[in-house]
């Protein structure tokens, strides 16, 4: 239930985002972010707001734990597009969180995967990857390397 307690606090976030998805692109854009996260419901909920000073949008995520399934649902919202209609759902196993959903990317059906890894008291890593072929291959398209602000 307390899987996301590590993320409570303020984080500097180094973002790397693929310039073009599903096109064999190897060019990445890099930009800063700052995330402030709070826990609630005794660890069964987590909320963060991330600002991107070099972008025309900001974001927020609400994470909710379901004690019956033992899974988390992660709901992403973008300040220009609003709430994504489909949350990613999953759990932590051996210190790595993997969360999945079905969605579309520019009208193409995809499988989405969020991965939380390399979690220490001072750092963590989040990755977003899309599969366009039913999970046979994955293209990582966004990486956030977070460092806790003291």
- The answer to whether residue 150 scores a pLDDT higher than 90 is no
Query: Tell me, what CATH number does 64's domain have?
Result: 2.40.128.20
Reported confidence tier of residue 121, pLDDT bands at 50, 70, 90: very high
Alpha-carbon span 81 to 120, nearest angstrom: 32
Residue 7 Ramachandran class (φ > 0 left, ψ -120 to 50 alpha, else beta): alpha
DSSP label at residue 17: E
* The pLDDT value given to residue 64: 98
* pTM score: 0.94
Q: Which domain holds residue 105?
A: 5-148
The encoded tokens of residue 102 equal 């079905």
At 31-52, the pLDDT tens digits run: 999 999 999 999 999 999 999 9
- pLDDT surpasses 90 at 91: yes
Q: Which of 83, 139, 91 is nearest to 111 (CA)?
A: 139
For 5: left if phi > 0, alpha if psi spans -120 to 50, otherwise beta; the answer is alpha
């Amino acid at each position: 239930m307390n899987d996301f307690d590590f993320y409570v606090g303020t984080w500097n976030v180094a973002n790397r985002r693929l310039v073009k998805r599903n096109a064999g692109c190897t060019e990445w854009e890099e930009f800063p972010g700052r995330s402030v996260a709070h826990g609630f419901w005794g660890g069964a909920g987590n909320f963060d707001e991330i600002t991107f000073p070099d972008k025309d949008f900001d974001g927020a995520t609400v994470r909710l734990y379901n004690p019956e399934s033992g899974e988390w649902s992660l709901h992403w919202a973008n300040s220009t597009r609003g709430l994504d209609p489909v949350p990613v759902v999953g759990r932590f196993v051996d210190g790595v969180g993997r969360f999945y959903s079905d969605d579309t990317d520019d009208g193409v059906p995809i499988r989405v995967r969020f991965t939380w890894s390399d979690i220490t008291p001072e750092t963590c890593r989040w990755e977003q990857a899309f599969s366009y072929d039913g999970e046979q291959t994955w293209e990582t398209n966004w990486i956030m390397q977070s460092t806790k602000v003291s």
